[in-house]
């Protein structure tokens, strides 16, 4: 009986460790005609395994991508990220001028104060797992 309880505890811990803890998540408010928006967050890997972020999806936009802005030869360029590894006890910070979730062609008018769903997609072995988040639209 005691062994059974321990096993259950282990399984629970593992299930929680699949996703990072997400803090300070927000979607940058934009003028009404904007065709491109960006969202930011801090992802903390509190597990003892690598977390692999591979994609993002928002039903509110026609296209969603994970980008990193880099200055190359004095010009800011956005580089598509196929896979970002977050090591145990490390964090990944999405912020203006760096990593961002690029949101293209909003399907409806998005206003300050709205909550917009963005799914973060991770690779866990052969599986893809989805962390569903509601990002508040803010002016910063
Ligand atoms: Cu971008």
Q: Which domains does the chain have, with CATH numbers?
A: 2-138 (2.60.40.1890)
In this predicted structure, what is the pLDDT of residue 5?
Answer: 56
Tell me the CA–centroid distance for residue 27 and ligand 1, in Å: 13
Tell me the CA–centroid distance for residue 15 and ligand 1, in Å: 31
Tell me the CA–centroid distance for residue 69 and ligand 1, in Å: 7
In this predicted structure, what is the pLDDT of residue 7?
Answer: 56
> From the DSSP assignment, how many helices (H) and strands (E) are in the chain?
1, 10
Tell me the CA–centroid distance for residue 9 and ligand 1, in Å: 41
- Digit-by-digit pLDDT tens for the chain (140 residues) are 555 555 555 555 444 458 999 999 999 999 988 999 999 999 999 999 999 999 999 999 999 999 999 999 999 999 999 999 999 999 999 999 999 999 999 999 999 999 999 999 999 988 999 999 999 999 99
Tell me the CA–centroid distance for residue 89 and ligand 1, in Å: 26
In 3-state terms the chain splits into helix, strand, coil percentages (rounded to 5) of 10, 55, 35
In this predicted structure, what is the pLDDT of residue 32?
Answer: 86
Tell me the CA–centroid distance for residue 18 and ligand 1, in Å: 26
In this predicted structure, what is the pLDDT of residue 14?
Answer: 47
Q: Please name which of 24, 28, 23 lies closest in space to residue 106, comparing C-alpha atoms.
A: 28
Tell me the CA–centroid distance for residue 112 and ligand 1, in Å: 20
Q: Please name which of 54, 130, 47, 40 lies closest in space to residue 85, comparing C-alpha atoms.
A: 54
């Amino acid at each position: 009986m005691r062994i059974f309880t321990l096993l259950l505890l282990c399984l629970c811990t593992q299930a929680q460790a699949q996703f990072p803890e997400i803090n300070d998540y927000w979607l940058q408010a934009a003028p009404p005609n904007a065709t491109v928006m960006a969202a930011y967050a801090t992802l903390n890997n509190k597990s003892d395994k690598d977390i692999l972020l591979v994609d993002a999806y928002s039903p509110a936009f026609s296209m969603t991508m994970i980008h990193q802005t880099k200055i190359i030869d004095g010009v800011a360029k956005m580089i598509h990220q196929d896979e970002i590894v977050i090591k145990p006890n490390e964090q990944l910070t999405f912020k203006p001028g760096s990593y961002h979730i690029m949101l293209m062609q909003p399907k409806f008018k998005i206003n300050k104060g709205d909550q917009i769903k963005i799914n973060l997609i991770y690779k866990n072995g052969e599986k893809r797992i989805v962390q569903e988040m509601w990002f508040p639209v803010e002016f910063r």
